[in-house]
C-alpha cells in the first residue's frame, strides 16, 4: 500500500487549516507567566492546554524537545502523550530536535522520530546537515518509507549561524545554498510538495539564496523575535506560498486562556494568508 507523503499531507493541512506552525516551548519563564511552577506538573498542564487549544485547528504543532528532556524520563513521557494527542486531533507534529550525526547513530535518531513503532513517532523532525548532507540519509530514507518529513537547517534566525551558513562552499556557493540544492534534488518531481523542507529564518530580510526547493520552508522568527507575516514575501520571494511560519511566544503568551491561544493563532494565520495573497 502506498504511503501518502508528508509533503502532500502538509499541503492539504496548510490549505484547510492555514499556513501556521505553533511551537510548544515550555521554558521556565513562560511557565511562570502562566502561573505554573517549573516542574513536571507545570509542564503537564502547559502542554495539555496548548494541545487541547490548538491541535484541532492549526496545521502544525512543533514541540521543542529540549524543554521536555530537561525533566528527564517524566518530561519525555509528557512529550510522548502530547505527540499522540496532537496527531489524533489532526495536527501535524514537527519534532524540533535538530538532530545531526552519522551512520548508525543518525539511524537511531530516525527510528526515534520517524518510525511508526516509536512512542515519539512524529510527522516530521528538524535535523542539522553540518556533518555533511549525506549524513542525513538514514532520516531521509525513513521519512520516505513512513510518509514523514525532514526539515533541514539552512539559514537560521540566530545571528551566529551566518559564520557557518554563509561561508563559501564548493564552486563558490554559500554552504546554505549547497544544502538547499541538495534539498531541491531530494524533492525533484514531487507533487504537490516535496517532503524535505528547509529552515530559513523570517528575520533575515532578503535571504540571498535560491529557495525554490519544491519543498516547505519553515520560517521561525515570527512574533517575539521581531518578524511579522508582512515580512515573508521580502524574505521568501516567489517561494512564499510554501512557507510555514513558526510562532511560539507570540501565541503562547496569551495562555493559559484557551480562547486567547485560539484567537492569537487564528489572527497569525489570517495575517499570513493576507501576506501571501499580496505577494
Residues tagged active-site: 98
Strand-pairing partners, residue 198, are 152, 217
Cell of 211: 529557495
User: What is the residue whose three cell numbers read 480562547?
Assistant: 259
The distance of Cα 200 from the centroid of its chain, to the nearest Å, equals 10
Phi, psi of 89 (to 5 degrees): -85, 0
**CA separation for the pair 88, 269 (Å, rounded):** 21
How many other CB atoms are found less than 10 A from the CB of residue 249? 17
What stretch of H or E contains 114? helix 103-114
Contact by Cβ (8 Å): 150, 140: yes
Phi, psi of 146 (to 5 degrees): -105, 10
Of 60, 59, 56, nearest to 24 by C-alpha is 60
User: What is the residue whose three cell numbers read 487549544?
Assistant: 53
- Report how far apart the first and last C-alpha atoms of the chain are (Å, whole number): 39
The pairing of strands 21-24 and 92-99 is unpaired
Amino acid at each position: 500500500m502506498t504511503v501518502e507523503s508528508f509533503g502532500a499531507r502538509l499541503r492539504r493541512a496548510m490549505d484547510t487549516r492555514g499556513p501556521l506552525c505553533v511551537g510548544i516551548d515550555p521554558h521556565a519563564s513562560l511557565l511562570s507567566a502562566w502561573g505554573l511552577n517549573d516542574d513536571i506538573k507545570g509542564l503537564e498542564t502547559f502542554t495539555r492546554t496548548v494541545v487541547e487549544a490548538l491541535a484541532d485547528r492549526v496545521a502544525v504543532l512543533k514541540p521543542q524537545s529540549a524543554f521536555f528532556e530537561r525533566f528527564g524520563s517524566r518530561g519525555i513521557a509528557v512529550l510522548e502523550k502530547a505527540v499522540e494527542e496532537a496527531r489524533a486531533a489532526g495536527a501535524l507534529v514537527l519534532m524540533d530536535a535538530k538532530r545531526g550525526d552519522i551512520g548508525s547513530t543518525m539511524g537511531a535518531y530516525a527510528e526515534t522520530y520517524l518510525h511508526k513503532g516509536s512512542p515519539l513517532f512524529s510527522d516530521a523532525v528538524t535535523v542539522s546537515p553540518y556533518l555533511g548532507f549525506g549524513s542525513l540519509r538514514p532520516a531521509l530514507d525513513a521519512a520516505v518509507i513512513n510518509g514523514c518529513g525532514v526539515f533541514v537547517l539552512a539559514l537560521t534566525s540566530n545571528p551566529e549561524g551566518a559564520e557557518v551558513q554563509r561561508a563559501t562552499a564548493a564552486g563558490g556557493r554559500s554552504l546554505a545554498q549547497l544544502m538547499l540544492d541538495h534539498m531541491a534534488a531530494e524533492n525533484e518531481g514531487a507533487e504537490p510538495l516535496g517532503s524535505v523542507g528547509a529552515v530559513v529564518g523570517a528575520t533575515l530580510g532578503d535571504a540571498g539564496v535560491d529557495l525554490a526547493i519544491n519543498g516547505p520552508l519553515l520560517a521561525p522568527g515570527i512574533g517575539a523575535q521581531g518578524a511579522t507575516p508582512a515580512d515573508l514575501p521580502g524574505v521568501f520571494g516567489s517561494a512564499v506560498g510554501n512557507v510555514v511560519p513558526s510562532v511560539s511566544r507570540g501565541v503562547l503568551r496569551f495562555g493559559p486562556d484557551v480562547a486567547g491561544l485560539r484567537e492569537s493563532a487564528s489572527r497569525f494565520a489570517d495575517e499570513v494568508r493576507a501576506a501571501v495573497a499580496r505577494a
